[in-house]
Amino acid sequence: MHKTLMTLTVSTMALIAMGCQPKTKTKVVEVPKKDKVYDFAKTSYGDPVNVPVHDTACNSQRGLSLSNSIIAEAYMGVETLMVRTLIEEDVFENAKTKDIVRQTLEYQTINEGRRVYLCRDASIIPENTQEGAAISMKADADQAFSLYETVRRKGTVALPLLKKVYLNAAQKEKEVSRTVDKDDEANEETSYMTDNAVFMGGPSPTLISYPQSEFSRQYKLLGGVPLWTVDGVFQHEFGHFIFESVMDEDGIRFASYHDYVEKNPRLHTFHTPTASLARQAATPGLKAGFVEFIRSQDFFVGSLNEGFADMWSYYTLKQPSTMWDISCFAKSRSIASPVFYNGISKSWDDNLWKKTFTADVKQTPGGSSDDPIESCNQPEFSDIHIIGAAMAHTVDAVFTAALEGTAATSDTSLLKAEMSIAWLKSIKDSNEFDDLGGKASLSRILNTAIGTGMSYLKTTDKTAFCAVVTSKFPALVKRWKDGKTDNEDVSGVVSFCSL
Ligand SMILES: [Zn+2]
C-alpha cells in the first residue's frame, strides 16, 4: 500500500546556450545542472510527543472494533521522510522569470508499520497511544462514511462506491528542508509533521494523523490535545476522500482538480501551519510562485476542496453551533459563524473579494516563523482553508434558505450533505472550467451552489431565498448583473432572483 519512493521535480533545469552566437538559429541545449556538495548549516525544531504502542505483546489477535470496518484498514508505526531541496537560480537577477527556483521533493517510507491489533476493549485504550489514535480516526471516518452511504443509497444523486481507505495512526514524518540561496548559503532545517491531519489521494487513499508537538502540549495550543481526539478533524479529512472520489467518478476526471493536486500534492491538510506559509514568504522564489497560486484557478479548486471537507464534517456532526472548539478554529472555521476572528465578515462583499485577490503571503503571519503552531487572531487570506471557510459558510446559508419550509421532522444535515455533493457534481459537469481564471472560477463555484439551492427549493415563494443570495454574495451579484460572467452564470440566478 505504501509507495516506497516518489520524486517530484517541481521546477526547472537550467538552460545554457552553447557556443558563440550563431547567425541564423540559436542552439539551446537543456542541461541538468549538477548539484554541488553543500555544507548545510543545520537547525531543528518541532519535536513530536512520543506516541507509544499500548500493548506491545499483542501481535496476532486482531480486535473486532477495527476489523469491523467496511472500508478502512488501520496501520501504526508508519515512519516517513520528506526531503525538500530548494536551489535559487536567478531570483535576484530576474525576479519576473517564472523558473527562479529548482525544487525537488522526495518522499520516502522508512517503516511501513503494521496493522493495528487490539487485545483489549477499545474503550479502555488511552487516547495518546498508537492504538488509541487508530481507534479515534476510525470512529470519525466511519461516521463520515456512514453519512455518505446514506446519501448514496437514497439514490437522488448517483454516487460511486468508495474505495478502501487506509488509516495511518500517529505517523512519524521527518521533514528536511534544504535551501541554497544565490550566495551559496546552504541551510538545512529538520522538523516533524505535528499537530495536523492529512488526506493523501491516489491509488491507495490514506488518512494520516500526526502526533502532537511538545510545544503545543506545553502551551495548550489546539486545546492541548492530539488532533485525532478532536471531533470533526477526520470527518473533514474523509470529506477530501469523497471530493476526490466524486471528481474521479467512473474514470472521468475533473481536469482542474487533477491539475491542482499534481502541482500541490500535499495541500489536503486539516490546516496550514504558519511555519510553512512563513517559509514560503521568506524565500523569494517560492514566494513569487505562491503569490501567483493565490490568484489562480488552482487556489479556488483547493479552497472548494477545503470548504467542502468542512461542510462534510459539519453535516456528519449534525450541524453543531460550535465546531472545533480549539484555539484558532472555533470562529474562523465554524460554518455557523458568519465572521472570522477579528470580526471580518465571511459574506462575499467588496472587502472579502478585495482581500481574496490582493492577499499576500506574510513572513510572520500571526506568529514567529519557528513557531510551528498557528496563531490565528488574523485570518490569512492566502490560505485555502480560510477562503474555503468563507465558501462553506455562505453556501451552507444558501442550502439552509433552500430548505426553509421542509417538515420539522426531516433530517436537514442529510439533505444538505446530499446537496453538497450535488453541488460538486454540477461543478464537475459544468463545461470549460479549465479555461476560467481565478475570479471566474470562484464565481462559477459560488454560482453553481446557488443553482443547487434553486433546484432543492421547497417553497414557491423565493423572496427569502433570494434575500440570502443578495446578502451573502453582494460582490458576486454585482458582477453577475454587470454581465462580466463569461460562462459563469450557469444557474440562471440573475433571472431567477430578478437581480
Ligand atoms: Zn483539509
CA of 269 to the centre of ligand 1 (A): 4
Q: What 3 state SS string does 79-134 have?
A: EEEEEEEEEECCCCCCCCCCCCEEEEEEEEEEECCEECCCCCCHHHCCCCCHHHHH
pLDDT tens for the 499 residues of the chain, in order: 333 333 333 332 323 333 333 344 445 555 555 556 777 777 666 689 999 999 888 876 655 556 666 688 899 999 999 998 888 765 444 444 455 667 788 889 999 998 888 888 888 899 999 999 999 999 999 999 999 999 999 999 999 999 999 999 999 999 898 888 777 788 888 889 998 999 999 889 999 999 998 888 887 778 889 999 999 999 999 999 999 999 988 667 787 787 788 777 777 888 887 777 777 777 777 787 788 888 888 899 999 999 999 999 999 999 998 888 777 787 889 999 999 988 899 999 999 999 999 887 775 544 444 444 445 567 889 899 999 999 999 999 999 999 998 888 889 999 999 999 999 999 988 765 667 889 989 999 999 999 999 999 988 889 999 999 999 999 999 988 877 666 566 568 888 998 8
CA of 270 to the centre of ligand 1 (A): 4
CA of 309 to the centre of ligand 1 (A): 6
CA of 344 to the centre of ligand 1 (A): 22
CA of 303 to the centre of ligand 1 (A): 9
Q: Can you tell me the distance from the alpha carbon of 97 to that of 288, in angstroms, rounded to the nearest whole number?
A: 9
Give which of 238, 374, 222 is closest to 308, Cα–Cα: 238
Strands 172-180 and 186-192: antiparallel
Q: Can you tell me the distance from the alpha carbon of 184 to that of 36, in angstroms, rounded to the nearest whole number?
A: 10
CA of 34 to the centre of ligand 1 (A): 37
CA of 237 to the centre of ligand 1 (A): 6
Instruction: Tell whether 17 is covered by a domain.
Output: no
CA of 290 to the centre of ligand 1 (A): 18
Cα-based distances in Å from 62 to 120, 121, 130, 434? 10, 11, 14, 47
pLDDT value for 436: 82
CA of 232 to the centre of ligand 1 (A): 11
CA of 238 to the centre of ligand 1 (A): 9
Instruction: Tell whether 16 is covered by a domain.
Output: no
The answer to whether residues 334 and 324 touch, using CB atoms and an 8 Å cutoff, is yes
List strands edge to edge, sheet with 41-44: 5-9, 101-111, 79-88, 172-180, 186-192, 41-44
pLDDT value for 375: 54
CA of 443 to the centre of ligand 1 (A): 21
CA of 36 to the centre of ligand 1 (A): 37
Into how many domains does the chain fold? 1
CA of 342 to the centre of ligand 1 (A): 23
Instruction: Tell whether 385 is covered by a domain.
Output: yes
CA of 236 to the centre of ligand 1 (A): 6
CA of 310 to the centre of ligand 1 (A): 8
CA of 409 to the centre of ligand 1 (A): 32
CA of 363 to the centre of ligand 1 (A): 22
CA of 320 to the centre of ligand 1 (A): 19
- DSSP summary character for residue 83: E
Q: Can you tell me the distance from the alpha carbon of 198 to that of 230, in angstroms, rounded to the nearest whole number?
A: 14
Q: 270: buried, middle or exposed (CB in 10 Å: 19+, 13-18, 0-12)?
A: buried
Q: What 3 state SS string does 137-172 have?
A: HHHHHHHHHHHHHHHHHHCCCCCCCCCCEEEEECCE
Domain with 316, as residue range(s), is 5-11+35-496
- DSSP summary character for residue 22: P
CA of 197 to the centre of ligand 1 (A): 8
CA of 496 to the centre of ligand 1 (A): 33
- DSSP summary character for residue 28: E
CA of 110 to the centre of ligand 1 (A): 25
CA of 112 to the centre of ligand 1 (A): 24
Q: Which protein residues have a CB closer than 5 Å to ligand 1 (ion)?
A: 306, 309
CA of 12 to the centre of ligand 1 (A): 29
CA of 233 to the centre of ligand 1 (A): 9
Taking the mean position of all CA atoms in its chain, how far away is CA 124? Answer: 33
CA of 467 to the centre of ligand 1 (A): 30
Block residue for cell numbers 546556450: 17
Q: Can you tell me the distance from the alpha carbon of 94 to that of 15, in angstroms, rounded to the nearest whole number?
A: 14
CA of 76 to the centre of ligand 1 (A): 22
CA of 455 to the centre of ligand 1 (A): 28
Give which of 191, 233, 190, 225 is closest to 209, Cα–Cα: 233
Cell reading at 382: 492566502
CA of 240 to the centre of ligand 1 (A): 7
* CB neighbourhood size of 328 (10 A): 21
The four Cα atoms 260, 265, 270, 276 give a dihedral, to 10 degrees, of -100
Instruction: Tell whether 18 is covered by a domain.
Output: no
Question: 19's torsion region: left (phi>0), alpha (psi -120 to 50) or beta?
Answer: left
CA of 492 to the centre of ligand 1 (A): 31
CA of 338 to the centre of ligand 1 (A): 20
